[in-house]
């Protein structure tokens, strides 16, 4: 979703901001823009399309000035047009704003501002902020005081950065329920929606809390708490490095991240001493236990539930984050919510945990982004340690989530340590060798309109994940389901040549899944079997190495991720930036 990057420096900033824009592209966007202040004048350039196209047309990097801010917009209020792209300026260009979030009360605010004589240029909710701050700035002549006064009138979610034409030394930021951080560099200070925006310049980061307002200048950061009192907070060093952001020799980040997974399983398994046990204790003591997440993270959460229910006899429910409030009746003091999120900023997840906490529940999270809102609002955190995931489709973060969740379940089961990580890493490397075979499958199936993914028991969340990946990247209609559900509707959709992926590792459910494959074949389906045991029922067979039962989802996900990736490439879709998707879904 919208990306924010602002910089005050002792050198021209346009190039730095352009680089930052390219780094936040992965969040998902449809238009972008930049503003700088030079010689007492505020200059804005913006447009629709990819950052590089806008740069070619508008010459963003040619903007002069040592202070500036830039934005990638994911349209919510108002169409995808130049006028609606950020930054937005107030009537006389005194104030400029960029924003991530939704201002819920923008309609009455806009009406009252128009009545006072303000002229609006866009259809966005964001523009009201520029006009409100302008009014307050004229009154107070103080950027921070003006921002505090204006934000008091806003309802909804926001992370904003503001510049003031006659104050070329400061950028002011404010946040409520949307991410905003400060990057502390040498001779330059940043404000951004995530670390990747400035990681090439500094890894020293200050995470802001809700209702805080920050003023950055070239060499100073001043944070004010909700009561207007100054808050002292030291920067923390983030572990991500610039090298994590290169594509290496891979054509896309998605392919690079898929191929990183042998390493992912190792790095995810290295946790701070005692932390996994702390999680396990909380789970064992929970009066009621919910696991919550969205998208791919939800699928990892389903896997954890299976193991807790079956192996530990602990009742756990996994609920998509946007629906957790429907279970509020079971959340109380003594309840535990385990939240999974790569970004730690997914709005539905944040709202779910906020609701759970208000009922007295404790929140334990499994996140990739240290310092994210979810991580900071949790009572305990385990990090995925898989480095930045730039491809919009979650791949290595899923693998890391399954590893970390498995370690927690093993600790709940009383195991002193999780075994088999090294063997798992080797098995993942082995599974990646199916790449050539998957390309052949893509060649054969790329024009089929529908795909189905089925599995039983512990594997069934992987069927959901396979369908999600294929939809996201290839735009082919895909459904995943437990094989037992096939008879209850889906078999009616199977025609001659319909591809159905059957995930069928050796184990208790193997024979039943083979029967499902036979049923599908009898109705004309072409069954793609993914397993460690071959069978004549499969039209195509992808062999996977045998791994411990708890890790089968990790090796099974590999061919499914490759299928989605190569399908996207075959259909000339950009796998790193699929249409209509955002990496970090920061609005509800």
Task: Tell me which residue of 308, 278, 262, 217 sits closest to 423, measured CA to CA.
Answer: 262
Angle between helices 396-412 and 295-312 (to 10 degrees): 20
Rounded to the nearest 5 percent, the helix, strand and coil shares of the chain are: 40, 25, 35
Q: What spatial distance separates the first Cα and last Cα of the chain, rounded to whole Å?
A: 11
Paired tokens of 135 = 């009014």
Concatenated DSSP letters of 518-540: HHHHHTT-EEEEEESS--TT-SE
Shortest Å, Cβ 343 to ligand F6R = 3
Q: Which is nearer to ligand F6R, 133 or 303 (CB)?
A: 303
Helix (H, G, I), strand (E, B) or coil at 270: coil
Shortest Å, Cβ 583 to ligand F6R = 7
Q: Which of 471, 521, 550, 583 is catalytic?
A: 583
Rounded to whole angstroms, how far apart are CA atoms 396 and 296? 11
Q: Which is nearer to ligand F6R, 98 or 468 (CB)?
A: 468
Q: Which of 2, 7, 386, 434 is catalytic?
A: 2
Helix (H, G, I), strand (E, B) or coil at 481: strand
Task: Tell me which residue of 161, 186, 185 sits closest to 175, measured CA to CA.
Answer: 161
Rounded to whole angstroms, how far apart are CA atoms 406 and 188? 42
* Beta-bridge partner residues of 542: 530
Binding site for ligand F6R (CB under 6 A): 294-297, 341-343, 346, 349, 392-394, 468, 472, 585
Q: Which is nearer to ligand F6R, 110 or 396 (CB)?
A: 396
Task: Give the long-range contacts of residues 305-311, CB within 8 A, separation 24 or more.
Answer: 306/457, 306/458, 306/461, 307/405, 307/406, 307/409, 307/458, 307/550, 308/283, 308/409, 308/412, 310/458, 311/409, 311/413
Shortest Å, Cβ 402 to ligand F6R = 13
Q: Which is nearer to ligand F6R, 199 or 392 (CB)?
A: 392
Whether 2 is a known active-site residue: answer yes
Residue in the block written with tokens 């979610």: 157
For 95, residues 6+ apart whose C-beta sits below 8 A from its C-beta are 89, 130, 133, 134, 137, 162, 163, 164, 165
Whether 91 is a known active-site residue: answer no
Rounded to whole angstroms, how far apart are CA atoms 87 and 268? 39
Shortest Å, Cβ 299 to ligand F6R = 8
Task: Tell me which residue of 389, 403, 473 sits closest to 438, measured CA to CA.
Answer: 473
Q: Which is nearer to ligand F6R, 85 or 349 (CB)?
A: 349
In Å, how far are 173, 339, 457 from 242, measured between CA atoms? 25, 28, 40
Burial call 228-239: b when 16+ CB within 10 Å, e when fewer: eeebeeebeebe
* Beta-bridge partner residues of 160: 99, 174
Q: Phi and psi dihedrals of 171, rounded to 5?
A: -120, 135
H/E element, 148: helix 143-151
Q: Which is nearer to ligand F6R, 147 or 401 (CB)?
A: 401
Q: Which pairing describes strands 31-38 and 41-48: parallel, antiparallel, or unpaired?
A: antiparallel
**Which residue number is nearest to ligand F6R in terms of Cβ?**
295
Shortest Å, Cβ 465 to ligand F6R = 8
Q: Which is nearer to ligand F6R, 168 or 301 (CB)?
A: 301
Q: Which is nearer to ligand F6R, 161 or 349 (CB)?
A: 349
Shortest Å, Cβ 437 to ligand F6R = 23
- CB atoms inside a 10 Å sphere around CB 511: 9
Q: What is the CA angle 317-454-365, rounded to 5?
A: 30
Q: Which is nearer to ligand F6R, 1 or 150 (CB)?
A: 1
Shortest Å, Cβ 250 to ligand F6R = 18
Q: Which is nearer to ligand F6R, 401 or 552 (CB)?
A: 401
Paired tokens of 314 = 């602990």
Q: Which is nearer to ligand F6R, 188 or 469 (CB)?
A: 469
Are 583 and 392 spatial neighbours (Cβ–Cβ below 8 Å)?
A: yes
What is the side-by-side order of every strand in the sheet holding 188-192? 41-48, 31-38, 67-73, 3-9, 188-192, 181-184, 204-207, 236-237
**Residues carrying an active site annotation:** 2, 583
């Amino acid at each position: 979703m919208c990306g924010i990057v602002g910089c005050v420096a002792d050198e021209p900033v346009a190039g730095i901001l352009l680089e930052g824009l390219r780094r936040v592209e992965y969040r998902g966007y449809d238009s972008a823009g930049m503003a700088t202040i030079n010689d007492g004048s505020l200059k804005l350039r913006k447009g629709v399309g990819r950052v590089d196209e806008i740069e070619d047309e508008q010459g963003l990097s040619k903007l002069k000035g040592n202070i500036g801010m830039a934005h990638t917009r994911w349209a919510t209020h108002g169409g995808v047009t130049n006028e609606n792209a950020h930054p937005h300026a107030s009537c006389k260009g005194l104030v400029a704003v960029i924003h991530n979030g939704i201002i819920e009360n923008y309609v009455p605010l806009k009406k009252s501002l128009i009545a006072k004589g303000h002229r609006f240029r866009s259809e966005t909710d964001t523009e009201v902020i520029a006009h409100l701050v302008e009014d307050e700035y004229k009154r107070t002549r103080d950027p921070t005081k003006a921002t505090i006064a204006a934000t008091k009138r806003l309802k909804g979610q926001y992370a904003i950065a503001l510049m003031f034409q006659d104050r070329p030394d400061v950028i002011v930021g404010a946040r409520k329920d949307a991410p905003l951080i400060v990057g502390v560099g040498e001779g330059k200070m940043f404000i951004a929606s995530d670390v990747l925006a400035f990681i090439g310049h500094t890894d020293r980061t200050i995470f802001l809390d809700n209702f805080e307002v920050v003023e950055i200048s070239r060499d100073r950061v001043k944070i004010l708490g909700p009561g207007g009192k100054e808050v002292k907070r030291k920067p923390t060093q983030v572990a991500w490095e610039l090298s994590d952001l290169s594509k290496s020799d891979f054509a896309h980040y998605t392919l690079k991240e898929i191929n990183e997974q042998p390493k992912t399983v190792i790095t995810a398994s290295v946790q701070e001493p005692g932390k996994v046990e702390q999680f396990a204790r909380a789970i064992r003591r929970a009066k009621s236990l919910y696991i919550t997440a969205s998208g791919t993270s939800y699928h990892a959460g389903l896997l954890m539930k299976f193991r807790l229910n079956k192996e530990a006899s602990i009742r756990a429910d996994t609920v998509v984050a946007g629906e957790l409030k429907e279970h509020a009746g079971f959340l109380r003091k003594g309840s535990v919510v385990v939240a999974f999120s790569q970004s730690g900023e997914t709005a539905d997840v944040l709202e779910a945990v906020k609701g759970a906490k208000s009922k007295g529940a404790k929140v334990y999270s499994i996140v990739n982004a240290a310092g994210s809102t979810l991580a900071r609002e949790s009572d305990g955190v385990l990090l995925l340690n898989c480095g930045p995931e730039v491809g919009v489709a979650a791949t290595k973060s899923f693998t890391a989530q399954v590893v970390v969740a498995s370690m927690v379940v093993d600790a709940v089961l009383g195991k002193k340590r999780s075994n088999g990580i090294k063997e798992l890493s080797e098995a993942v490397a082995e599974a990646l060798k199916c790449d050539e075979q998957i390309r052949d499958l893509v060649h054969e199936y790329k024009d089929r309109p529908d795909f189905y993914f089925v599995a039983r028991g512990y594997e069934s969340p992987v069927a959901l994940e396979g369908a999600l990946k294929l939809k996201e990247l290839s735009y082919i209609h895909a459904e995943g389901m437990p094989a037992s559900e096939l008879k209850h509707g889906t078999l009616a959709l199977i025609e001659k040549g319909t591809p159905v992926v059957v995930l069928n590792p050796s184990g208790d459910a193997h024979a039943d899944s083979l029967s499902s494959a036979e049923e599908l074949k009898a109705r004309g389906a072409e069954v793609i079997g993914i397993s460690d045991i071959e069978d004549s029922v499969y039209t195509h067979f992808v062999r996977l190495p045998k791994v411990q039962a708890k890790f089968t989802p990790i090796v099974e996900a590999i061919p499914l991720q490759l299928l989605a990736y190569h399908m996207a490439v075959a259909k000339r879709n950009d796998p790193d930036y699929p249409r209509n998707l955002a990496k970090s879904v920061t609005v509800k």
